[in-house]
Chains A and B, each alone.
Chain A
Amino acid sequence: MDVYEFFKMGGHGFYIWGSYGTALGLVIIEAVWVAKKHNKAKVELNQMEAEFTRANNQGVNG
């Protein structure tokens, strides 16, 4: 099959690629965004736990 003809999609290329492109783009953005948010929360929670444990231990020893 001719590549040019394939992308032209019989004159419907804009509508078809617009649909698939936007849908795929949004899905990828959402998945990455959700994963990043989860990782950030995980790192922050760990830091907070470490910090509070240190502070509490200092309070007990000091």
Chain B
Amino acid sequence: MNIKRRIPWMKYASATSFYPLANRLVPIFMGLAVILAVVGIYMGFFVAPIDYQQGNSYRIMFIHVPAAWMSMFIYLLLAMYAAISLVWRVKMADIMAYSLAPTGAMFTFVALLTGALWGRPTWGTYWVWDARLTSELILLFLYLGYMGLYSAIPDRQRAGRAASFLAIVGVVNVPIIYFSVIWWNTLHQGASITLSAAPTMSGVMFSTLLIMTFACWFYTIAVVLRRAQGVILERKKVALWASQMSKK
């Protein structure tokens, strides 16, 4: 039986229904992202109090933590789409995986850079081969590897399949990043926010962090949808060219 008929949401797995939907969603999510980012940054600098131990440097957290979370979430999403595209050969899933990668790489880079800039005044060093830092660096290489492999293979379908395999194998790194602070006793601190316990930070710091995280999420949704739209148009161009050539 046709999978698109069996699962209603799979309707949006086709480019023709995805494209107009994305057109409507992109401005909404981008608008929300901008509003939340402005509110979040204002709160981060003018409402959240100075930390009694770290002084002002802890304000980097409002960028660093959402970026680090996004780097992992986006990778999980990418791998999920990669798996869907491999198993069910859904073209839109491949386009989504492809469109998620640059934004994921960007957030990973931001997490690493802001981590280094926070590490210097707090730990006294920009970088240390700590388990958390090293596994996050590997995540950046996985993103770059996925994008590199995709663009290195001229045949698009093969490129998509090879890159998808890499993405799925790389998923093993995400729990390593997340649990590294528990499994190894290294420099990076443990989680301040978990699902099982109350956050170990003040209310206003926590709400600022949440607002910035939502800003990052909405930004990601807007940018990834827009990038996917671009990819759809690019592929349409190639198909149109091919059909025109076949007429000659």
User: Using a CB–CB distance below 8 Å, which chain A residues touch chain B?
Assistant: 9-12, 14-16, 18-20, 22-23, 26-27, 30-31, 34-35, 37-38, 41-42, 44-45, 48-49, 52, 55-56
How many A-B contacts are there with CB distance less than 8 Å?
Answer: 87
Report which of B50, B64, B230 forms a contact with A19, defined as CB distance below 8 A.
B64
Contact B227 A34 (CB under 8 A): yes
User: Using a CB–CB distance below 8 Å, which chain B residues touch chain A?
Assistant: 30, 41, 50, 55-57, 59-60, 63-64, 67, 102-103, 106, 109-110, 113-114, 117-118, 120-121, 219, 222-223, 226-227, 229-230, 233-234, 236-237, 240-241, 244, 247
Q: Which 5 A-B pairs have the closest CB atoms?
A: A41-B233, A38-B230, A19-B114, A9-B56, A12-B57
Report which of B118, B227, B247 forms a contact with A15, defined as CB distance below 8 A.
B118
Contact B234 A41 (CB under 8 A): yes
Report which of B55, B229, B233 forms a contact with A12, defined as CB distance below 8 A.
B55
Q: What are 20 A-to-B residue pairs whose CB atoms are below 8 Å?
A: A9-B59, A12-B56, A12-B57, A12-B121, A15-B60, A15-B120, A15-B121, A16-B57, A19-B63, A19-B118, A20-B41, A23-B63, A23-B110, A30-B102, A34-B226, A44-B233, A45-B233, A48-B237, A55-B244, A56-B244
By secondary structure, the A interface counts as helix
**What residues of B have a CB within 8 angstroms of the CB of A31 in the complex?**
30, 219, 222-223
In the complex, what distance in Å separates the CA atom of A52 from the CA atom of B59? Answer: 56
**What residues of A have a CB within 8 angstroms of the CB of B236 in the complex?**
45
